[in-house]
Structure 1
Amino acid sequence: MNAPLILPAPAKLNRMLHIVGRREDGFHCLQTLFQFIDLSDQLTLASRNDGKIYLTDEVSGVSHDDNLIVRAARLLQRHSGTPLGATLSIEKQLPMGGGLGGGSSNAATVLVGLNQLWQLDLSQHDLAHLGLQLGADVPVFVHGHSAWAEGVGEQLTTVTLDTPWFVIIHPGISVSTPSVFQDPQLTRDSRPITMARALQGGAPEWRNDCEAVVKERYPPIAEALNWLTQHAPSRLTGTGACLFAEFETRQAAQATASLARQRWPTWVARGLNTSPLHDALGYL
């Protein structure tokens, strides 16, 4: 029996997010830049011989069988036909409904980690394809590198982004992603741009098309974003609720974060181009 694996499930930021259309099935066509940051949940994965999948930790508002951690393990188990099971535990650090990709990252860490623990030897492509069944953001966490994404977020091209320091604020509420994407006021017709143009344009031209709707629906987010924008260029990540601002130095980020912490949960994080999960497993 292999020793348990203790692995990070890192957060991501959407450095930009444009919505360029809507498909007949209701899903939206996106263009976004994903970047990892050095904030993570932590998962422990232990193999078991009885075929059972068991998550030891309760997540508020989510039943055991509906948790993406459990669903990811069972999906991989069915796909591979392995007789093995797993005991899974999580130390949760990332806020739920925060736009940092916590649930999707948890699922990806389970897929990648159990693939190694169970010695399945599935390819990264196979794992990403499985992950897409769990959520549009799961493939980028399996992919493990900063990426330009199109489609619903699953068409990934590896890119290298700058790695500033970020101040990340969580305004203390959870955002419903479906409600944002169903809002009739959501911008759905941004003009598509090329990856080269997106990378060339940089921060001044980057925006999040969900931001206006989220600010209207969730006034506490609007208040926090207006405050953060006074200190540095700031944006929403994903559909929120988390907001981020970029700083050239850790010291500058820490100074703003110390002010923000008087009102909101706040983190300082470094931008990364390689996922800490892949670093932990020695992929790259």
Structure 2
Amino acid sequence: MYYQFHSVLSPAKLNLGLKVIGKRPDGYHLLKSVFCLIDLYDKIDIQITLNGKVSLIEHQQAWFYQKDLAYKAAILLQEYSGCTKGANIKIKKVIPSGAGMGGGSSNAATVLIILNHLWETGLTTDELLGLGAQLGADVPFFIRGQNALVEGIGEIITPIELPELYFVIIKPDFHAPTKDVFAALELDFEQCNTKNILTTQLISQKENDLEAAVRKIYPQINDIFSELNQYGKAVMTGSGSSIYLSFADKNSAKNVANILSPRYNTFLAASLAVSPVACD
């Protein structure tokens, strides 16, 4: 039997403030951050197969497809549910990799949600969240699919409402591996007084504790910050390497994007209230 492809959009996110508030005995850092969905999407096409095989077709990333989070998500769902069906998965990448914008995590969450429907595996949202947490810290946020205050190692998700915002995003020509960034982090958690920081403070202060580590490892990023700060407060998202400016006015964002785009890999995006594939 021939099954048609189902097309879905997989959104990116930006961190509107990120504070590192502690470190667990197992080495994982505890975070407090506002996650904002944006209308920058990867397109994912999924076709059910009956042979039980999961394949990422037309895969064009630098790594083997078996290491891709979307592939791992499909295999994990298959193993957890005992489903005997397979899937062909095509991902058209728009969200840059290694950018701190959650593209891989979003793809994994999207595959879990859509295959749970197409394979009729019947998992609850809580079960999907549990599987997502096994794949990556940001995956549960994308399964929830709403803007949120995210705490702990990503498992504490509190939905929030955000005003409509427009973003100019610059992706430098280097990746910032998350492991390297956290290894270079220099914070005295006993001296930090950020555990009780309010959501409104995170958004208004626009500070990312990981920025100093990225600046240290990749000093070339300092020139980008200097230029972007002429147009507002430049903020790094996640563990980098993307930097963004936020605006309340769409035309202001467009004007700045037009100025920067000849020299930088530039994206113009708006905030989303809900993901196209939200579970909740």
Q: Shorter chain as normaliser: what TM range?
A: over 0.9
TM-score by length of 1: 0.93
- Per-residue deviation at 1:263? 1.1
Secondary structure of the corresponding residue to residue 88 of structure 1: strand
- Per-residue deviation at 1:227? 1.1
Instruction: Give me the whole-angstrom Cα distance separating, in 1, the residues matched to 2:59 and 2:121.
Output: 28
Query: Match of 2:27?
Result: 26
User: How is 1:227-246 mapped onto 2 (pairs within 5 angstroms)?
Assistant: 227-246=227-246
Q: Does 1:262 align with 2:265?
A: no
Structure 1 residues 123, 16: CA separation in 2 closer, same or farther (over 3 Å shift)? same
Q: CA RMSD in A?
A: 1.6
Structure 1 residues 199, 39: CA separation in 2 closer, same or farther (over 3 Å shift)? same
Structure 1 residues 19, 202: CA separation in 2 closer, same or farther (over 3 Å shift)? closer
- Per-residue deviation at 1:187? 6.1
Unaligned residue ranges in structure 2 (runs of 5+)? none
Structure 1 residues 137, 262: CA separation in 2 closer, same or farther (over 3 Å shift)? same
Query: Match of 2:166?
Result: 165
Amino acid corresponding to residue 20 of structure 1 in structure 2: I
2:6–2:47 contact (8 Å) kept in structure 1: yes
Cα deviation, 1:21-46, whole Å, max 9, x if unaligned, reads: 11111110000111100001110011
TM-score by length of 2: 0.94
- Per-residue deviation at 1:186? 4.9
Query: Match of 1:191?
Result: 193
Cα deviation, 1:21-78, whole Å, max 9, x if unaligned, reads: 1111111000011110000111001110010001002243211211111111000000
Q: Does 1:36 align with 2:30?
A: no
Cα deviation, 1:189-222, whole Å, max 9, x if unaligned, reads: 632344xx52332543231000111112112322
2:33–2:202 contact (8 Å) kept in structure 1: no
Amino acid corresponding to residue 104 of structure 1 in structure 2: S
Stretches (4+) displaced over 4 A? 186-189
- Per-residue deviation at 1:119? 1.2
1:169–1:266 contact (8 Å) kept in structure 2: yes
- Per-residue deviation at 1:163? 1.9
Amino acid corresponding to residue 14 of structure 1 in structure 2: N
Secondary structure of the corresponding residue to residue 121 of structure 1: coil
2:185–2:213 contact (8 Å) kept in structure 1: no
Query: Match of 2:154?
Result: 153
Unaligned residue ranges in structure 1 (runs of 5+)? none
Query: Match of 2:96?
Result: 95
Residue-pair matches, total: 278
Percent identity reads: 37
Secondary structure of the corresponding residue to residue 111 of structure 1: helix
Secondary structure of the corresponding residue to residue 244 of structure 1: strand
Cα deviation, 1:66-101, whole Å, max 9, x if unaligned, reads: 111111100000000011110000100011100000
Instruction: Give me the whole-angstrom Cα distance separating, in 2, the residues matched to 1:80 and 1:227.
Output: 50
Structure 1 residues 115, 257: CA separation in 2 closer, same or farther (over 3 Å shift)? same
Query: Match of 1:104?
Result: 105
Amino acid corresponding to residue 192 of structure 1 in structure 2: T
